[in-house]
């Protein structure tokens, strides 16, 4: 079985060692490089093409987010897990916009890093449980539980199913495969769902789905 190639970049040597040791406990992983510098990390990723890059948010020369942006511009296939001390909603949403697939709070790294890499390598997203509150902040238009239920009840059964899968952090492709529909059909459904729920963006839809996951049961 092909091992998952991983690069680790963090400018704190002891923390980087801890992450490395945790990842090395999984036989499916192969740590191919490590560094404490953002520019070096970018160069190594472009040279070695790891499956997953575990990047510290804050490093000398380039941040993990800047590296992710440059990888996206170069259409790199390497997927990014971002490590951060910041339990900050704005940083998290910026990371999603830049294409970060995994977001792990450093305090949770020992518990979450193996699962994060496994999920991201297989094409799934991963978010540390302790970061959930960032996503489930109430959208101002939906502060009333009654109003939320009214909005959800306006959805069809298939729309509620799609929304529940969004709450499971599944991609459009994964939802399409599970429901035996085309990716374009799922995208169209999500536009309709957002309109019915009075939401303006895909991030709002994700927050709403996570916040109201328990209300979406058919």
Q: Give the count of domains, the chain.
A: 2
Distant-in-sequence, close-in-space partners of 37: CB < 8 Å, separation ≥ 6: 9, 11, 59, 60, 61
What CATH number does residue 201 fall under? 1.10.10.10
Q: Are 111 and 169 within one domain?
A: no
What CATH number does residue 37 fall under? 3.40.50.2300
Q: How many residues does the chain have?
A: 218
Name the residue range of residue 186's domain. 136-215
Give the pLDDT confidence score for residue 154 in this predicted structure.
Answer: 74
Q: Are 140 and 82 within one domain?
A: no
Distant-in-sequence, close-in-space partners of 159: CB < 8 Å, separation ≥ 6: 189, 192, 193, 196
pTM: 0.67
Domain boundary among 105, 134, 163: 134
Q: Are 113 and 169 within one domain?
A: no
Q: Is the pLDDT of residue 142 over 70?
A: no
Rounded to the nearest angstrom, the gap between the alpha carbon of residue 199 and the centroid of all alpha carbons in its chain is 20
Q: Are 162 and 202 within one domain?
A: yes
114 vs 86, residue with greater confidence: 114
7, with CB counted inside 10 A (0-12, 13-18, 19+), is: buried
Q: Are 12 and 103 within one domain?
A: yes
Share of the chain above pLDDT 70, in %: 90
């Amino acid at each position: 079985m092909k091992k998952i190639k991983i690069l680790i970049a963090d400018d704190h040597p002891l923390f980087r060692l801890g992450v490395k040791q945790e990842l090395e406990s999984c036989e499916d992983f192969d740590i191919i490089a490590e560094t404490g510098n953002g520019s070096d990390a970018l160069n190594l990723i472009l040279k070695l093409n790891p499956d997953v890059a575990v990047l510290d948010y804050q490093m000398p020369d380039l941040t993990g987010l800047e590296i992710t942006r440059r990888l996206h511009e170069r259409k790199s296939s390497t997927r990014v897990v971002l490590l951060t001390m910041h339990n900050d909603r704005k940083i998290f949403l910026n990371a999603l916009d830049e294409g970060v697939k995994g977001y792990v709070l450093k305090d949770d790294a020992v518990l979450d890093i193996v699962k994060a890499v496994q999920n991201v390598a297989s094409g799934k997203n991963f978010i540390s449980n302790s970061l959930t509150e960032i996503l489930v902040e109430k959208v101002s238009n939906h502060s009333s539980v009654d109003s939320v239920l009214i909005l959800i009840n306006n959805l069809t059964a298939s729309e509620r199913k799609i929304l529940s899968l969004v709450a499971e952090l599944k991609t459009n492709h994964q939802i399409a495969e599970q429901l035996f529909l085309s990716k374009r059909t799922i995208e169209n459904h999500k536009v309709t769902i957002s309109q019915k729920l009075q939401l303006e963006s895909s991030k709002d839809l994700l927050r709403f789905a996570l916040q109201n996951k328990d209300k979406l049961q058919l």
